Structure 1
Amino acid sequence: MTADEITRIDVGGDAPEGTNSAYLVGDRAVVDPGPPTDRAWRDLRTGLERAGVEPTAMEYVLVTHWHADHAGIAPRLAATADATLAMGAGDAPLVADYARERERRLERDAATMDAWGVPADAVSEVIDGDAVSAMPDETSVERLADGDRVAGLEAVATPGHTLGHTAFAGDGFVLVGDAVLPTTTPNVGGSDTRTLRPTAVNPARCDDPAAGGAAIDHDPLAAFRRTLERLADRSERLLPGHGTAVESGRVAEILTHHRERSRRVFAALERRGTATPWDLAGDLFGDLVGIHVKFGAGEAAAHLRTLERQGRVDRLEDPPRRYRPVDREPRTRETGV
């Protein structure tokens, strides 16, 4: 499958990350068909018709990750075409068993935000504002591992933004979903709270991308950095899930962004002495409302987890999680030397 056989289709209207991008691969597969709205369905059908392809001709519907703006309309397209819906094994349950997994996700999100020190009223605002998507309670989903081939594409595990995020590579291109975006940096930590669960864990444990993101990754920022480094080593053109093609050097920019953010998190923690992820989210992003409460606190928590693994911060309490900086040069407390 070559880049000449890829057609980008704008679906679902604008989003903060840019217009959603669905991709027609040849004449037999669609990647990331879009959100579960009638507008997205019309946009997708129009794009397919312009390419001379009927929705019923699809053999595969591929999804990079479980977020509704990418996966929401996938069950509808798969049912219309009697096509196989496939995605990374780590994210597949959230689409395959949508109703049950949504309830579990809301419980997990609430517990995780509480552990991050988010006030109860802000937690309630996030949970109450999480609308049910127009998706089937259950859907048949084929689970993909890193290196699997489907519809002429190679599945490439790209965890970080979500636990089982998976890109799809062809000859000269990689459909990267939200692993790399042209104008914004993908959220890490708050975009999938499975990656930072409020349970006692070994902070040194991280996933190998070859595992397909199926195991629990307790350092999502480290996983995301490995994803970016893996993509940086590839020579193909990167095609994102929002907007158009990624410019050369964008992966390096995102890596630099996160190095700088880690420095900002550590500096803010030094100023405070001790802090929760929620405290530091306010320092980093200012006042947060709605879904940005989870995203902001999760981003701070992800950076703190990496700093903890690096031995630069200690976690003091759980819950709520509270951190303190570790002196780089040990000294006697009584004398200060």
Structure 2
Amino acid sequence: MERISLSNSAFEGDNNAYLFADGPETALIDTGDWMATTREQLEAALADRGLAFSDIDRIFLTHWHHDHCGLAGEIQAESGADVYVHENDAALVGGDEDAWDAMYDRQRGYFEEWGMPEDRQEVLLERMADGETTVETPTVTAFEDGDTFSINGTELTAVHTSGHAAGLSMFEADLEGGHEVFSGDALLPVYTPNVGGADVRVDRPLERYLRALQGIVDADYDRAWPGHRDPIDDPADRARHIIDHHEERSWRVLDALDRKGPCDAWTVSADLFGDLEGIHILHGPGESYAHLEHLERAGTVVREGGDYRLADGVSERLAAADAERWDLEY
């Protein structure tokens, strides 16, 4: 297995595609985005190894976001490669117009629910439209959690890790370094993947992501190969760090409600993240909503219309929090 680094202008850092070419079959995990620069980089990396798009037999996608699946259709068009993606993301990756229309409708509904101002909605929608392009969409084969695949004798097992995306999946494998995992965006070495905004189809996004992180802790992988940046040598420790990060963020959400009184997700987002630009106009209130929804189900926050307030007695408990914080069920 070899890691191929592909440029990405987004904050997460360079994307990774993982190449399996140590036998009769040639396969990739993720492809990078559809930009011409990325295509040139991937073609050059394959050529250095005596390969071309036409040699790819199978592609395994971690999820539907374009920076991970963008070239799958073009590769398939040249090679006839089978393209695999979790069943929850298959319609989007395959270009199903009804699925995309439903996604856009759900996003616009959340913009209103979160309290996103109209001018910010216009900026975000323009940014999202600029990111759309005519791209070759692949014919996909859907897999489920626990499905296994063999590539030149290496067994891959799909592990569904919903939260950041409805179909986000990792792939476990026993490699030379031990029991390792291709973690996509479920586990990143620097940033924490957005929950709530990155895929508005996900119900209870923070709960699902925390469950996925605990699964990574329990699996105790020897190494993780993430969708962005460098390998992670202690995946369990990184997962625990992200769990702690989200607990700390929930405390900040409670503090914002305590100071501001009842308010919507957009107002909480502004308190947490300040002024937002680009795709962060989506990610900020989405992440705030994910935490507010999680705290609401825990009984710590009460929703009234589009606004959230602290449940009775929580403000007093916050006042004593410097002495001892209570369990937020993380």
State the TM bucket, normalised to the shorter chain: 0.7 to 0.9
Structure 1 SS opposite 2:304: strand
Inter-partner Cα distance in structure 2 for 1:232 and 1:329: 31
For residues 265-276 of structure 1, what are the structure 2 equivalents within 5 Å?
265-276=253-264
For residues 1-337 of structure 1, what are the structure 2 equivalents within 5 Å?
6-26=1-21, 27-130=25-128, 131-136=131-136, 138-150=137-149, 151=151, 152-171=155-174, 172-195=179-202, 218-234=203-219, 235-248=221-234, 249-317=237-305, 321-328=306-313
Deviates more, 1:115-124 or 1:19-28: 19-28
Deviates more, 1:322-331 or 1:20-29: 322-331
Read off the aligned partner of 2:139 and give its amino acid letter: S
Q: After superposition, what is the alpha-carbon deviation per residue over 1:237-276, rounded to whole angstroms, capped at 9, x for unaligned?
A: 1110000102422111111100000010011111122010
Deviates more, 1:39-48 or 1:219-228: 39-48
Inter-partner Cα distance in structure 2 for 1:329 and 1:63: 43
Inter-partner Cα distance in structure 2 for 1:17 and 1:81: 30
Inter-partner Cα distance in structure 2 for 1:244 and 1:24: 15
Call closer, same or farther: CA 1:163–1:188 in 2, change over 3 Å. same
Give the Å deviation of 1:13: 4.0
Give the Å deviation of 1:93: 1.1
Give the Å deviation of 1:100: 4.3
Call closer, same or farther: CA 1:73–1:134 in 2, change over 3 Å. farther
Deviates more, 1:109-118 or 1:90-99: 90-99
Inter-partner Cα distance in structure 2 for 1:100 and 1:124: 23
| TM-score, normalised via structure 1 length | 0.85
Read off the aligned partner of 2:135 and give its amino acid letter: M
Call closer, same or farther: CA 1:123–1:8 in 2, change over 3 Å. same
Read off the aligned partner of 2:16 and give its amino acid letter: S
Give the Å deviation of 1:28: 1.7
Q: After superposition, what is the alpha-carbon deviation per residue over 1:189-212, rounded to whole angstroms, capped at 9, x for unaligned?
A: 0101112xxxxxxxxxxxxxxxxx
Call closer, same or farther: CA 1:185–1:330 in 2, change over 3 Å. closer
Read off the aligned partner of 1:115 and give its amino acid letter: E
Over aligned residues, Cα RMSD in angstroms?
Answer: 1.8
- If asked which structure has higher relative contact order (CA below 8 Å, sep 6+), I would say 1
The count of residues paired between Structure 1 and Structure 2 equals 300
Read off the aligned partner of 2:31 and give its amino acid letter: P
Inter-partner Cα distance in structure 1 for 2:10 and 2:279: 14
Give the Å deviation of 1:167: 0.9
Deviates more, 1:226-235 or 1:307-316: 226-235
Give the Å deviation of 1:55: 2.4
Inter-partner Cα distance in structure 2 for 1:329 and 1:223: 25
Read off the aligned partner of 1:238 and give its amino acid letter: A
Contact 1:72–1:133 under 8 Å retained in 2: no
Aligned position for 1:213: none
Q: After superposition, what is the alpha-carbon deviation per residue over 1:24-44, rounded to whole angstroms, capped at 9, x for unaligned?
A: 023521011110012111111
Give the Å deviation of 1:139: 3.0
Structure 1 SS opposite 2:247: helix
Read off the aligned partner of 1:282 and give its amino acid letter: A
